[in-house]
Amino acid sequence: MKLVKHLANLGYGSRKEMMALIRNGRITDAAGGELDFDTTIAHKELRYDGKPLDPDASAVVMLNKPLGFTCSTKDPGRIVYDILPMRFRFRKPPVSPIGRLDRDTTGLLLFTADGNFLHRVISPKSNVPKVYEATLARPLTGGEATIFASGTMMLESETKPLLPAELVVTGEKTARLTLHEGRYHQVRRMFAAVGNHVDALHRAAVGGLTLGDLPEGQWRELDAQEVAKVILS
Ligand code: URA
């Protein structure tokens, strides 16, 4: 793709603004060499004021989502895009979250502009497990794991039973739950259905990918090995 269009698609500004940046020598190759408007150059070779550009359209980005941010572009409150560079809202193709987390859920949230990858991750066929750590209002009773694993559990106002989910009790009021689907408020509704209440919820893993040491509120691009860990099968 021509340089001007590539930069505009990454949300850095209009084509006219990109032409001005290139003309003023602020967009260069990795060696600092000036470029033509219609150059086609590998994304990783580009620099803006000497620094690498944002991840390109094939990238997958991991965010450690903090509490209180909605997975939406329009919500009047705080949104996950507030944490990413402002430019991400103007990208073509758009950068979208891969699945969603509630406003009050923290943890691993992936984003990509690669529609094929997004659909592979959320497709039931890929069976990508999602691991949640729940802190509950009341002590666990001991029967939850069997109910969650049954494959017959029904949530209120739904007609299809939940797929079996694995519960590991980690404390009196804490548990790790692995889901193989993603229904609306699923973890909270599952615990509500067995008479409990989720006080805090954190997503620790998607497929074989964990947050590692990424601090809360921070994001970074995944490398190829990490991307491969998301879809296990
Ligand atoms: N289940 C929930 O209840 N909330 C989330 O954010 C994700 C799964």
pLDDT digits (tens, 9 = 90+) for 177-212: 999 999 999 999 999 999 999 999 999 999 999 999
Question: Which atom of ligand 1 lies closest to the CA of 188?
Answer: 3
Tell me how far the alpha carbon of residue 100 lies from the centroid of ligand 1, in angstroms.
8
The single-letter DSSP state of residue 30 is T
102 catalytic residue (yes or no): yes
> Given the structure tokens 């758009």, which residue do they identify?
94
The single-letter DSSP state of residue 70 is B
Q: Are 149 and 120 within 8 A, CB to CB?
A: no
Question: Which atom of ligand 1 lies closest to the CA of 198?
Answer: 3
Does the beta carbon of 188 sit less than 6 angstroms from any atom of ligand 1? yes
CA gap 79, 91 in Å, rounded:
17
Neighbouring CB atoms inside 10 A of 117's CB total 18
Query: Taking the CA atoms of the chain, what radius of gyration do you get in angstroms?
Result: 21
Q: Is the pLDDT of residue 101 over 90?
A: yes
The pLDDT value given to residue 102? 97
CA gap 181, 185 in Å, rounded:
11
CA gap 195, 176 in Å, rounded:
17
132-189 pLDDT, tens per residue?
999 999 999 999 999 999 999 999 999 999 999 999 999 999 999 999 999 999 999 9
Q: Is the pLDDT of residue 73 over 90?
A: no
The pLDDT value given to residue 233? 60
Closest CA to ligand 1's atom 7: 101
